[in-house]
Amino acid sequence: MRTFSGLIFLLCAAVCLAQSGEDGQVVVAKAELARVRSMVDTGVLPRARLAKAEEAVADAADAAFLRRTAYGQDLNVDQADEMVATANRRLDRRQKALDEAKQLVDLGASPQASLKPLVEDLELERQECSLADERAKLVRELSDMASAEETFLNKLAQAPAEASQLAESFSGDGTFVYATYAKVEVAFREHFGKPMPVSAMGETAVHRAMGFDHRGRVDVALHPDQPEGVWLLQYLTDNHIPFFAFRQAVKGKATGAHIHIGPMSTKLASGG
C-alpha cells in the first residue's frame, strides 16, 4: 500500500510540475525529490537519500540545458561557456558515481559487473563534453569573426585609410540573395570536392549580442590568402557578388580571418 501511495504522490507531483512547461526529465526528478523529502520527513527514508534526489534534479536540469545548447542551433559566447561548464559538471558526477561504486566492489559489497553501466555512462559523458567543447570553439571563432567586422566598421567611420588594412572589399552589383549563395556553394563543392566551410548563415546569437544585423549575409571560415580563399574571392569577383575579406582583427587577439559574402552587416536599431 505504501508503494502504491508513493506512486500516486509521484504522479500527482509530476502533473503539477508539468504545467510549468519545464523539461520532462526535470519534472520527473523534482517529483521524485518531493516524494523522497516527504518520506525523509516521516522517517521512512534516511536523510542521505534526500541529497541524492537533490543531485538528480541538478543533473536533470544540466541535461536539459545541454539539449538546448550542445544540440541547439543558436548560441552566444556566454551560453557556450556555460554549456562547457555544465557538461563538465555532469562528467564529474559520473566519475564520482563510478569511484563510489568501485569502493563497494573493493569491499565485496557489490559485484564487478555493477560497474559496467557506470563506465558506459562515463564514456557517454566524455563524448558529450567533447561535443560541447567543439560547439563552444565554433561559437568563439564566430565571435572573433564578428569582432573583426566590428573593428572594420569602427575604423571605416574613424579612419577610412586604416580600414583598408583590415579588410579587402568588393561591392559587386551591391546585392546578394541566398539563391546566389547556392550557386557559390555548388561551384565550391564541385571545385574542391567538399562543402564550403560556412560559419554563419544569416542572423546568429553572436551577431545579435554584438548589435549587428547579419541577415542576408554569409560568413565563410576561410583565410583570404589560403588557396580556397583565393579561389572563392576570384569566383565572387567574376560573378559580381559583394564581399569583404578579413585578414586580421584586433592586434594580440584571434585574427577572425574570414570571407563575408554580401553587403557589410549594419548596426541593429536600438531595441532591435
- Per-residue 3-state assignment (H helix, E strand, C coil) for 55-67: HHHHHHHHHHHHH
37 part of a folded domain: yes
Helix (H, G, I), strand (E, B) or coil at 113: helix
105 part of a folded domain: yes
pLDDT digits (tens, 9 = 90+) for 65-98: 888 877 766 788 889 999 999 999 999 999 999 9
Distance (Å, whole) CA 259 – CA 189? 16
% the chain with pLDDT above 70: 87
Q: Are residues 62 and 30 in the same domain?
A: yes
Last residue of a domain, one of 108, 140, 172: 140
Handedness of CA 107, 108, 110, 113 (dihedral sign): positive
Predicted TM-score (pTM) of this structure: 0.71
Distance (Å, whole) CA 89 – CA 205? 24
Instruction: Indicate whether 1 pLDDT > 50.
Output: no
The lowest-confidence range among 10-19, 71-80, 85-94, 199-208 is 10-19
Q: Are residues 175 and 134 in the same domain?
A: no
Cα dist. 30→69, 93, 247 in Å? 22, 18, 51
Distance (Å, whole) CA 128 – CA 165? 41
Q: Are residues 261 and 183 in the same domain?
A: yes
Q: End-to-end alpha-carbon separation of the chain, Å?
A: 58
Q: Are residues 24 and 124 in the same domain?
A: yes
Mean pLDDT of 249-257: 59
Taking only Cα atoms into account, the Rg of the chain, rounded to an integer number of angstroms, comes to: 26
Distance (Å, whole) CA 260 – CA 120? 43
Q: Are residues 179 and 243 in the same domain?
A: yes
Mean pLDDT of 54-75: 85
Q: Are residues 66 and 120 in the same domain?
A: yes
% the chain with pLDDT above 90: 53
Instruction: Indicate whether 252 pLDDT > 70.
Output: no
Cα dist. 153→108, 160, 162, 177 in Å? 68, 9, 11, 22
Cα dist. 64→168, 169, 257, 270 in Å? 43, 43, 34, 32
Instruction: State the pLDDT at residue 150.
Output: 87
Instruction: Indicate whether 254 pLDDT > 90.
Output: no
Mean pLDDT of 250-267: 76
Rounded to 10 degrees, what is the CA torsion of 118, 120, 126, 129?
Answer: -90
Q: Are residues 98 and 189 in the same domain?
A: no
Distance (Å, whole) CA 66 – CA 60? 10
154 part of a folded domain: no
Instruction: Indicate whether 119 pLDDT > 90.
Output: yes
101 part of a folded domain: yes
272 part of a folded domain: no
Q: Are residues 166 and 131 in the same domain?
A: no
- Shortest CA distance to 206 belongs to which of 255, 270, 160, 148? 148
Instruction: State the pLDDT at residue 104.
Output: 94
215 part of a folded domain: yes
- Per the DSSP assignment, residues forming a β-bridge with 46 are none
Instruction: Indicate whether 225 pLDDT > 70.
Output: yes
Last residue of a domain, one of 107, 140, 173: 140
Cα dist. 258→198, 201, 209 in Å? 10, 13, 19
Q: Are residues 91 and 166 in the same domain?
A: no
Mean pLDDT of 16-34: 77
Q: Are residues 22 and 126 in the same domain?
A: yes
pLDDT category of residue 249 using cuts at 50, 70 and 90: low
Q: Are residues 7 and 136 in the same domain?
A: yes
Give every CB contact of residue 214 below 8 A, 6+ residues apart in sequence. 146, 200, 202, 203, 204, 207, 265
Instruction: State the pLDDT at residue 35.
Output: 93
pLDDT category of residue 198 using cuts at 50, 70 and 90: very high
148 part of a folded domain: no
206 part of a folded domain: yes
What is the domain range of residue 44?
2-140
Instruction: Indicate whether 29 pLDDT > 80.
Output: yes
pLDDT category of residue 268 using cuts at 50, 70 and 90: low
Last residue of a domain, one of 140, 175, 192: 140
Q: Are residues 6 and 135 in the same domain?
A: yes
pLDDT digits (tens, 9 = 90+) for 150-162: 888 888 889 888 8
Handedness of CA 190, 255, 154, 165 (dihedral sign): negative
Split into its structural domains, the chain has a count of 2
